Amino acid sequence: MGSPLVPFGRMVAARMARGRGAAAIRIPDRVGAQLRLVLPAASPRLFVHEGARQALERRLRAAFGGPVVLSITDNRHSIITHRVQRGLLFARVHHMFLDSPPDVTDALVRYVLDDDREASAILGAYIDDNGFRVARRKRSAPLATKGKHHDLLAMHARLNERYFHGAVNVLITWGKRPTAAAGVRRTIKLGSYSAVDRLIRVHPALDRAWVPRYFVEYIVFHEMLHHVVPGSRGLGRVNMHPPEFKEREREYRHFERALAWERRHLGRLLRA
Ligand SMILES: [Zn+2]
């Protein structure tokens, strides 16, 4: 009986609105929903302390040296995102940073402006303390784990099993290929770990047939250790490789061999 009613849906709904005939007539859901149901905005409202937002925006503006647009979110999947577009810094930040302690706010500013590694560790700890233990990831940036020559996910799984009892819950991806205009490199960051995103990035220069698996695994292992061993604080800065870190790093089966390989091939990696 649904189909004959459809052309008259509008009329039926109008009658319902006046409170007549509602019990007697079945309206197909779709039509009824279109005509009658007016829902309030679906997303929960986020009440932001505007003064705190402006204060944080001012901090960012002072450090950035240009205009800043700061939005406050309630998003569990990307706690902090930022991009610079035509000289404008757009930052989206979870509301937990509106009342964070001063050292965390400092770290936030450094992280947004310089992608600072110590800052990432401080923020990661703060995010954990605030109960955000799920893996966070911008949905728009897919992870690429399978390279032409090396499969990062398989490496991560092997290392996790062998050295961490399967306890390391992080994401991993090949980093973006640098643009050709970058010229000759003088340094190369072979791996990085963002505690904010719980994400290990491995430099795509390592995805070569001439780079041995034990070396790529060493880089992955090192970054996994950053997730496990926190930096130690002292004298106003964070040591990302405290003694405990260095000790555990030597547990990697091919540690010496990997360091020796790196020394011999650094020049080639810089040109790769
Ligand atoms: Zn390191």
Which residues constitute the domain of residue 196? 152-271
* Cβ-based neighbours of 116, under 8 Å, separated by 6 or more: 107, 110
d(CA 82, CA 70): 9
Last residue of a domain, one of 67, 95, 129: 129
Q: How far is the CA of 246 from the centre of ligand 1 (A)?
A: 9
pLDDT in tens, 188-243: 889 999 888 889 999 999 999 999 999 999 999 999 999 999 888 776 677 889 99
Is there a single domain that holds both residue 159 and residue 262? yes
| Strand ranges of the sheet holding 171-174, from the earlier edge strand across to the other edge | 171-174, 199-202, 191-194
Helix axes 102-114, 117-129, angle to 10 degrees: 130
Amino acid at 271: R
Asked if 167 and 225 touch (Cβ cutoff 8 Å), the reply is no
pLDDT in tens, 46-72: 566 888 889 999 999 999 999 999 998
Model confidence at 142: pLDDT above 60: yes
Q: What pLDDT band is residue 139 in, cutting at 50, 70 and 90?
A: low
What is the rounded average pLDDT for all residues in the chain?
Answer: 80
β-strand pairing of 237-239 with 232-234 = antiparallel
Q: How far is the CA of 163 from the centre of ligand 1 (A)?
A: 17
Is there a single domain that holds both residue 31 and residue 54? no
Q: Which residue has the higher pLDDT, 97 or 182?
A: 97
Q: Is residue 204 part of a domain?
A: yes
Q: Is residue 139 part of a domain?
A: no
d(CA 12, CA 16): 6
Q: Is residue 136 part of a domain?
A: no
Q: How far is the CA of 272 from the centre of ligand 1 (A)?
A: 21
Q: How far is the CA of 83 from the centre of ligand 1 (A)?
A: 25
d(CA 169, CA 11): 56
